[in-house]
Every structure is written in structure tokens, then in C-alpha cells.
Amino acid sequence: MDDKALTLRETLLNACRSDGLDPDLLPLLEDIATSCRVVSHLVQSGAFTGTLGGAGSTNVQGEAQQQLDVLSNDVFVRHCSSSDRVAALVSEEVEEVYWLKDNPGPGDYIVYFDPLDGSSNLAVNMCVGSIFSVVRLDREIDASDDRSVLLPGSSQICAGYSVYGPSTSFVLTTGNGVTGFTHQPGTGEFRVTHPDMKIGDTATEFAVNASRYALWDAPLRRYFDECLAGESGPRGQRYNMRWVASMVSEVHRILTRGGAFIYPCDDGNREQGGKLRLMYEANPMSFIIEQAGGRASTGLERILDVVPTSHHQRVPVFLGSKSEVDVLDQYHREAQQG
């Protein structure tokens, strides 16, 4: 790694000077980056500290929590609470909103996060990660009502994720493109390794859990069947399918290599509205993908335009290269129109 590559702090300072980034956002983003460093260490040392197993509890979605889910949540809460501009924290792992201010107002921040995405992969040593986004309030909100945090994804001023794999990546947008950083061992710094990340408009890969094919609606079956048909099919090319059951890992690959990430609403999760959570999974990733030149949709509308009804709301997710998401949207619209 180039020791002269810009650090996260240097990159953010440049954004404050040239892109109008709120200077008060800088320490919060550094706190989030610190959270990711700590979680990365917890993941790497889990086999030695005895923290890779289940926690014996469930989260608000009824999913079994891993010990590292709970520990990672505590890390994010501790570090993000240090900023006097943060009004509230919204986590996948906690049912209620964690309010830090009694009277939140203009200029205050709300942080949404999934502290450890893909934690079911920990026992088999596969990639996991963290996802986050920040909204800056433009008005006073009621801290006695958790519905006050129900803001559309278009309100986000920054979003990012970290991948804990062979190296620790930190991918960030503040609304002016997407920058990828890599943690430099020994220095503790995140340095720019992937400036101005762009997602290709065409692709030959897609990520979906094909074991649920029998539960899918007709539009997704149509897309899937056409991709499998290869050069002789209507898409006219061969596709590769990937699936590792970690949104952050799948989206990182799609962002760097192009393609489509697919997690639909199907007969197995229709009552819940889908699998992935809007506020701290779909919204942050959609913001990043759009800033990289891609698209993110529910199949019928732009994800960032969805007005949330609950801070644990779930939605279908189709995101990635524009051409692929366009096709998925077209098939869903045609099915809706009959």
C-alpha cells in the first residue's frame, strides 16, 4: 500500500474545503471508522476470545444473535455517542431508538447502522461487515416518538460500509461519488485505495439465493431463467451467479465488478415485506450504488424514495448495474400491469 495515499481524515478535510462537507460530520465519521476498526479486531480475534458462538438471544426481527452482534452494537453505540451533534442512533440489533438528545433540532444527526452484517458466516470464516448512514435534521423532531426517525433514504448525507475479510475495507460516500479505503496494518489508518469507484453499466454476474426459486414471483423467475439461458437466451450472454449470504460482501463485489444484487420479497417473507431492512441496510447501500452510477429499486420504485413506516421496515432490494436493474424493474412493471 502506498504510504502517501490520502488518509480518511485527509480525504474528509479536502471534502470540507472543496465539496462543502459539514465540518462537524468529520469527527462523527472518524468515530464510525474507529468503530469499524474495533469490530474488525473483534472478528479477527473471536476464535481466541470465545465470542464466535450464539448469544442466546434474538434481535427485534426474531433472528438469533451472535455474541459478536451484541458486542459490535455496543462498539458502535459507544463511539457514535461521543459526538454532541448526534441526536439518535438506530440499530438493527435494538428494538427502540437510542435517543441522545431531549430536543433534537436542525443540524443534529441521526445515525442508522447494522453493526455486523452476515454474522451467520462467522463460524465458517467468511466475510462479514458493517453498514451505516447519517441523516442531518433540517427541523426539530420529537424525541419522545420513535417515528420521528422515519426519514426517506433521500435524506441521507453520507453512507458507507466496512468489509472484514483478508483486508478491512471502508467504503464511503458523502454525496460526491464513492471512495474506497483500506485499513493499513500497523498505522491504524484507512488510506484511499479505490478513488472514485464506479459500477459498470453492463455486467455478467448476479447475486441471489437461488434455493428460494420456488418462492419467487414470476418477474424474478423470468430474469433468472433468462440469465441461465446464456448466449442462446434472450439476454445473449453467459452470466455467473454468486451468493455468500452477506449483503455487505455481495454489494462490495457488485460495486467493484458490476452486476446485480437481488433479495426479493417472496412467499417465504411476504408477510414481513421482504428480508432486508430499509433504514440501515437498503437505504445506505442504495445511496452508495447510486453515487457510483448504478440503480437501486424495490422492483417498482426507487428505494431512496420509499417513505418508511417503521424503523425496522423490510423491503425487496434490486440494486447494481443500471442495465440489470432496468430489466428487473421492467419485468415487475409488466407483471403488475398484467
What fold does the segment set 205-337 form as a domain?
D-Maltodextrin-Binding Protein; domain 2 (3.40.190)
Torsion of CA 42, 43, 47, 53, to 10 degrees: 100
pLDDT for the residue numbered 55: 67
Q: How high does pLDDT run on average in the chain?
A: 94
**HEC string for the chain:** CCCCCCEHHHHHHHHHHHCCCCCCHHHHHHHHHHHHHHHHHHHHHHHHHCCCCEEEEECCCCCEEEHHHHHHHHHHHHHHCCCCCEEEEEECCCCCCEECCCCCCCCCEEEEEEEEECHHHHHHCCCEEEEEEEEECCCCCCCCCHHHHCCCHHHEEEEEEEEECCCEEEEEECCCCEEEEEEECCCCEEEEEECCCCCCCCCCEEECCHHHHHHCCHHHHHHHHHHHCHHHCCCCCCCEEECCCCHHHHHHHHHHHCCEEEECCCCCCHHHCCCEEHHHHHHHHHHHHHHCCCEEECCCCEHHHCCCCCCCCEECEEEECHHHHHHHHHHHHHHHHC
Q: Give mean pLDDT, residues 20-41.
A: 96
Q: Give mean pLDDT, residues 233-237.
A: 92
What residue ranges do the domains of the chain occupy? 8-194, 205-337
pLDDT for the residue numbered 47: 85
pLDDT for the residue numbered 202: 79
Percent of the chain at pLDDT > 70 equals: 96
Q: Give mean pLDDT, residues 73-78.
A: 98
Cβ 318 vs Cβ 297: under 8 Å? yes
Residue 115 has pLDDT above 70, yes or no: yes
Q: Give mean pLDDT, residues 282-293.
A: 99
Residue 50 has pLDDT above 90, yes or no: no
Q: With bands split at pLDDT 50, 70 and 90, how would you rate the model's confidence at 4?
A: confident
Residue 171 has pLDDT above 70, yes or no: yes
Cα distance between residue 207 and residue 220, in whole Å: 12
* Between 58 and 204, residue with greater pLDDT: 204
Binding site members: 92, 114, 116-120, 209, 275, 281
pLDDT for the residue numbered 33: 98
Measured at the alpha carbon of residue 112, what is the angle toward residues 144 and 66, in degrees to the nearest 5? 105
Binding site members for substrate: 117-120, 209, 275
pLDDT for the residue numbered 148: 97
pLDDT for the residue numbered 62: 67
Q: Give mean pLDDT, residues 32-42.
A: 97
Residue 260 has pLDDT above 90, yes or no: yes
Binding site members for Mg(2+): 92, 114, 116-117, 281
Q: Which pTM value belongs to this model?
A: 0.96
- For the 8-194 domain, the top CATH level (class) is alpha beta
Residue 133 has pLDDT above 80, yes or no: yes
Strand pairing class (205-207; 128-136): unpaired
Residue 56 has pLDDT above 90, yes or no: no
